Amino acid sequence: MADIEIKRGYEVLPDNRVRFGIRVINNGDSAISEVEVILDYSHSFFELEGSKIEELGTIPPSIPRTAKFILKPLGCVHQEEIGAIVLFRDHKWEKHTLDMRPKEIHCVCPFLKEKSITRSDFLKLSDEGYSAEHGVNFENIALEKLVEFLSHSCKNRLYKVDEFSIEKGKVLYLAGDSLGEKAYYLLTAVVIEREEIVQVLLHASSDKSFGLHGFLNEILENLRHLVRSVNSAREIGIIKHEQVINIIDSVVQHTNFSGGTGPSSVNIQDSVVQRTNFGSSEDEIRKKGAEDKLRRQQENERLRKL
């Protein structure tokens, strides 16, 4: 139907997932009802979060509605098409089916090797081609350690063109070539410490647009993984340390079942000691014996009177 317009587009999210949107626009004079969008995608390349059917309900004239889908790439995706079918009923309650024109998707994590270039060539290429940026904040980690992790994440894939200090931070220039295709990927990393937060800004440049997000996402994911691993190891150490403290500072109950009268020696550092003594003295034993003898005499006297 000429009165129904379908637009589609996508964006690569920071975690490398793909948000795919399908907008249905009613250019007619009457509302359309029971509008459904059914996504058509390859299960070999993507994993869909949620249902592939999105219900948009009723769409009045000139008020567009958009169906949104989240797709997780199962690998590098290059020139893969996503399609859809739109179902709806017109004002006469007649059912219609429209095929959306497929949309080509690129979501690439390029395989890289070091690209040895000069600082001047790096700066020149950084101002050309396509670019993208991502930023992330980290807590409870030193700036120097984060720079070390960043260098480790790029090792054997990106050549360190330059590294220099700025106020409360550092800047790194890194360069790489994509294996299998003629494309360069340049990375400018700015690491700045602000109070208790370390901020990382990554600026990527390339002569190919479709691999930029995958390039940045892979570096950020590796960096996050290293920071999480170190923080987890630090937390395990804290837990073990607290367990030792809890044992030392615990309440210890000491019970003495010996018959001796002397005090027992208990020495537990920084602990609260509760001591219970069940021993008996000689005076208590003699008193108990006299009471038993008197009770027997009274019982015998009672029996003689009977």
Please report whether residue 300 resides in a domain: no
- What is the CB neighbour count within 10 angstroms for residue 26? 23
pLDDT at 271: 41
131 and 88 in a common domain:
no
Write the CATH number for 70: 2.60.40.10
User: In this structure, what DSSP letter does residue 100 have?
Assistant: P
- Structural domains in the chain (count): 3
Centre a 10 Å sphere on the Cβ of residue 213 and count the other Cβ atoms it contains. Answer: 22
Give pLDDT, residue 303. 58
- Does 305 fall in a domain? no
Q: What pLDDT is stored for residue 283 in this prediction?
A: 61
Domain region containing 68: 4-107
Distance CA 279, CA 281 (A): 7
Q: Are residues 172 and 274 in the same domain?
A: no
Return the CA Rg of the chain. Answer: 38
Task: Give CA–CA dist 257/200, Å, rounded.
Answer: 66
* 159, 263: one domain: no
Whether residue 192 sits in one domain with residue 128: yes
The confidence score (pLDDT) of residue 294 equals: 72
Query: pTM above the 0.75 mark?
Result: no
Residue 305: per-residue pLDDT: 60
Q: For residue 6, what are the CA distances in angstroms to 10, 12, 39, 64, 88?
A: 14, 21, 13, 10, 13
Query: Cα separation of 41 and 148, whole Å?
Result: 40
**Residue 207, SS3 per DSSP:** coil
116 lies in the same domain as 147: yes
- 182 and 147 assigned to the same domain: yes
Whether 301 maps to a domain, the answer reads no
Contacts with 186 (C-beta within 8 Å, 6 or more apart), sequence order: 122, 125, 126, 173, 174, 175, 176, 204, 205, 206
Mark whether 118 and 211 lie in a shared domain.
yes
* Residue 71 sits in the same domain as residue 144: no
Kind of pairing between the strands at 159-166 and 169-178 = antiparallel
Task: Specify the pLDDT at position 300.
Answer: 66
Statement to judge: residues 78 and 194 lie in one domain: no
State residue 12's pLDDT score: 81
Q: Identify whether 67 is part of a domain.
A: yes
Q: Are residues 84 and 30 in the same domain?
A: yes
Final residue belonging to a domain, choices 81, 107, 133: 107
Judge whether 120 lies within some domain.
Answer: yes
Residues 55 and 148 in one domain: no
119 in the same domain as 164: yes
Choose the final residue of a domain: 107, 136, 152: 107
Residue 278 maps to a domain: yes
Residue 304 lies in a domain: no
Encode the chain (306 residues) as per-residue pLDDT tens digits: 558 999 999 888 867 789 999 999 999 899 999 999 999 999 988 999 999 999 999 999 988 999 999 998 887 777 789 999 999 999 999 999 999 999 988 776 677 889 999 999 999 999 888 998 888 898 888 899 889 988 888 888 899 999 999 999 999 999 998 876 778 999 999 999 988 899 999 999 998 877 788 888 888 888 888 888 877 766 655 444 444 444 444 444 444 444 444 444 444 444 444 444 444 455 665 666 667 667 777 766 665 665
Cα 26 to its chain centre, rounded Å, is: 40
- Distance separating the N- and C-terminal Cα atoms of the chain: 122
What CATH number should be reported for the domain holding residue 116?
A: 3.30.310.10
Domain annotation covers residue 54: yes
DSSP β-ladder status, 272-277 and 251-256: parallel
Contact 75, 96 (CB under 8 A): no
Residues contacting residue 130 through CB under 8 Å, at least 6 positions apart = 205, 206, 207, 208, 209, 212
